[in-house]
């Protein structure tokens, strides 16, 4: 679980990233920030594409940014949507989170008061991951 200071920074980074989202089709702007085991924070936004299958979610953008910077373990993912209710990561994002943070804490927040705080294990029980290939 992140410290109160880390959580504040994660939420701020996720909210700022949502403002950068490229979402001309869905109009659903999402920002995410991940906390790596080294304590660094990486943010990302959703990036849509006219070929919908090539769209990338904010959570994966943030995780891939961390990986590109040499990180390979995440402990927390914060998702922000400028909506009245909080939104949990999609199934594909849950699987990618599992690859790099099977014990990660997931926190979804929004413009409203609602917040979701849950473990990845609760969102993706019985997940398939790297350990299954050993």
Query: Could you tell me the pLDDT band of residue 1, with boundaries at 50, 70 and 90?
Result: confident
pLDDT per residue as tens digits for the range 83-117? 999 999 999 999 999 999 999 999 999 999 999 99
Q: What is the pLDDT of residue 134?
A: 77
The structural domains of the chain, with segments of one domain joined by +, span 4-128
d(CA 42, CA 75): 12
Strand 31-36 versus strand 115-119 pairing type: unpaired
Average pLDDT on 30-35 reads: 98
Q: Per the structure block, which two tokens stand in for 11?
A: 């939420």
| 4-128 homologous superfamily | Cytidine Deaminase, domain 2 (3.40.140.10)
d(CA 34, CA 62): 6
Q: How does DSSP classify residue 47?
A: B
Place of tokens 């090539």: 54
Place of tokens 């959570």: 59
Considering only CA atoms, which of 58, 57, 118, 109 is closest in space to residue 84? 109
d(CA 93, CA 73): 15
Q: Quick check: is 59 catalytic?
A: yes
C-alpha 124: how far from chain center: 14
Given 59, 71, 114, 121, which residue is catalytic?
A: 59
pLDDT per residue as tens digits for the range 62-76? 999 999 999 999 999
Is-contact 56 89, C-beta < 8 A? no
């Amino acid at each position: 679980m992140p410290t109160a200071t880390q959580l504040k920074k994660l939420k701020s980074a996720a909210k700022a990233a949502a403002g950068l989202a490229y979402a001309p089709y869905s109009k659903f702007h999402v920002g995410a920030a991940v906390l790596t085991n080294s304590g660094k924070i990486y943010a990302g936004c959703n990036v849509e594409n006219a070929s919908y299958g090539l769209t990338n979610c904010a959570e994966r953008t943030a995780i891939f940014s961390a990986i590109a910077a040499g990180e390979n373990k995440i402990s927390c993912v914060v998702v922000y949507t400028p909506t009245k209710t909080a939104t949990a990561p999609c199934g594909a994002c849950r699987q990618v989170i599992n690859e790099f943070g099977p014990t990660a804490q997931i926190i979804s927040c929004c413009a409203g008061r609602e917040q979701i705080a849950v473990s990845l294990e609760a969102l993706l029980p019985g997940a398939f991951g790297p350990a299954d290939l050993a």
